[in-house]
Structures are given as structure tokens and as C-alpha cells.
Amino acid sequence: MPDLSPAFHSRAALITGGLGFIGSNLARRLADLGARVTVIDSLIPEYGGKLFNLSGYEDRIKVNIADVRDEHSMDYLVRGQDFIFNLAGQVSHLDSMRDPYTDLDINCRSQLSILEACRKHNPAARIVFSGARQIYGKPQYLPADERHPVDPVDINGVNKVAGEWYHIVYHRAYGLRTTSLRLTNTYGPRMRVVDARQTFLGIWIRRIIEGNEILVYGDGEQKRDFNFVDDVVEALLMAAADRAIGEIYNLGGDEVVSLKSLAAQLVSINGSGAHRLVPFPAEQKAIDIGDYYGDYSKIKGALGWAPKVKLADGLKRTLEYYRQNGAEYW
């Protein structure tokens, strides 16, 4: 990995969704690199933002409690920022099906609010958007690369496509310096574990620490790849520091595992616990994508990024974090 300190030291960085899982880890890393960091978060309870996620960094990171859909707030907050990491969004696939209008508002209108503010008040800012592998839907081939057809199976996926393409259109039409990363399954400290809104692995972590069974839907043979959050943060930083403007990159992992195998591995690392196969809930089955793992060779070739944290090490670090801090997240 390159030395990122020169790119970010004393530079101004704004993170939307900055009290959430990935945003808070990114904020801490930027502060360590000497950046002047501001985070924006609405602290809507369902979306995972927590002031505790910046514990120990309170004097090094500026926090602004605001909603990115508020155009007046964004008009002010984007001014003077060198980097804008656009991580705010609604990520629950089930919630998007139950309440599609809210998902549309948060994942589409909010993106336009941010981009319009930048177009008017800070067109030189470097903008990195966090997209999602969910836009591919049920893969036609694996590993899925960036040329794979976009075919989402839920409202959240449709709106994530729109959010990403707003960023690309604003680059092509207005010259904004945007890049999108399509994230796969991200896990690690500070993720939401109170339920499965953010990731199924979160609720698995909570259940195993509390001594409950991990529930695996279906036959458990669905295959996935994973990225530890530190690797995702490095990808975001490398994309922002590079000149890969107007590009879309997949992230991905080197270890592809079935969910059944993942559950067994988590039990083994924990030293206790059990998992059990259970039938898919009907609403979950309707939007399940089956197997997915991504081809990240484009970002590896262009920026030199590759995941470094092995799955077993990442799971161990995640379990240790929640054993120590679980009360803040349950």
C-alpha cells in the first residue's frame, strides 16, 4: 500500500454518514493521517450511526448532526472541502421493499443534494461514492466484474444504481471529480449488530457472543466474499488520492466461502456456539441473489489495491471488539 500521508495531511475531508460503520472507521484513519475531518450524520436510529464510533477521537474530528437531504446544510458544509467521501445511505434491502419512498429519498434525492451543492459551491472537490454489489442482482457469471449487467432484485439496488450514476453523470456533464467503489460484504468493528439491517454478519456476531445459535437461511451453500473494514477504508483513500476520476471499481475478497462454512468458522474462532439451518423467510427469499463474489482486478491494476486482512483474522478482531464494547451496540 502506498504512503497516503502526503495526500491527506492538513487537507480538509468531509464524510457523509460519518458516524456509521465505514464512515467512522474512515474518519479515524483520516485523522491519523493528519487530515482535518468533518463528519455529517443524521443519527437516524435505524441506520447505525453512533457517537461512540468516534470514541477517543472527539477532539480530532468535527461532528455535524445534519441530514444530507437538507440542501441548505449541504450548500454550507461542502465549501472548502478537498475530499468528500459520500457514504450516507439507507442500506437495508428489506426496508427498501417495505418503504420504497424513504429509500428513494435517502439514496437518490440525498445524492442529488450533495452533488448539486458541490456543483454550485465546490466543483473542485474530490468525491468518492460508496456503491454496492447489490446492483448486479443474481449474477450471470462469477466472479462479477464491472462489465457485468446491472440487474438489481430490490428497490435498494435500483436506487444505489441511480446514486452511482448521478455521480458519473455529474462528472461527464459538469466536470465533478467523482469515483464510485462497488463494495462487497464489509465487516468489522463499529458495524451495526443490533439487527441484520446493515449486514447479516452483524447479527451473527451478536448472537454468538450472547450464546445464541447463528441462524443460516436455506441450505447455507450461498457463496460470498468479504472485506474487512480496514481494507475498504484503504480503497476509499487510494481512490481519493488517485486521478481515477469518472471510474467505477469493484472491491472483492480472495476468500470465497459458503454461509454455512462461514458460520462454522465463526463458531470455531469464538471457541463456542452453534449454527442451524432454517428456512428462508418469504420476503427474504424473494430478493436473495444466490452466490456472489466480485472481480477486483480493475482496481488492483489501476490503483494497486488488494485486500490484506485474512477472513479468520478479521473475524477474530471483530469478535474481540464486540466482546469489549457490545453494551454500546446491543
Per residue in 59-89, pLDDT (tens digit) is: 999 999 999 988 999 999 999 999 999 999 8
Long-range contacts of 147-155 (CB under 8 A, 24+ apart): 153/287, 153/288, 153/289, 154/93, 154/96, 154/97, 154/287, 155/96, 155/97, 155/100, 155/103, 155/104
pLDDT value at residue 281: 86
pLDDT exceeds cutoff 70 at 312: yes
Helices (H) and strands (E) in the chain — how many of each? 13, 13
* Cell 455535524, located at residue: 64
pLDDT exceeds cutoff 70 at 229: yes
Residues of the chain above pLDDT 70, percent: 100
pLDDT exceeds cutoff 80 at 261: yes
Q: Is 40 exposed, middle or buried (0-12, 13-18, 19+ CB in 10 A)?
A: buried
pLDDT value at residue 183: 97
pLDDT exceeds cutoff 70 at 49: yes
> pLDDT of 82-121, one tens digit each?
999 999 988 788 888 999 999 999 899 999 999 999 999 9
pLDDT value at residue 1: 64
Nearest-angstrom CA–CA distance, 310 and 258:
16
Helices 21-32 & 229-241, crossing angle to 10 degrees?
A: 60
pLDDT value at residue 256: 97
Cα atoms in the 13 Å half-sphere on the side-chain side of 246: 8
> pLDDT of 11-21, one tens digit each?
999 999 999 99
> pLDDT of 183-219, one tens digit each?
999 999 999 998 877 789 999 999 999 999 999 999 9
- Strands 185-187 and 226-228, sheet pairing: parallel
Q: By the 8 A CB rule, do 23 and 46 touch?
A: no
What separation in angstroms does the CA of 324 have from each of 89, 190, 195, 272, 317?
28, 12, 19, 17, 11
How large is the average pLDDT for residues 150-168?
95
CATH fourth-level superfamily of 5-189+227-253+293-308: NAD(P)-binding Rossmann-like Domain (3.40.50.720)
pLDDT value at residue 220: 95
pTM of the model: 0.96
What separation in angstroms does the CA of 102 have from each of 80, 110, 159, 301?
30, 11, 11, 37
How large is the average pLDDT for residues 259-285?
94
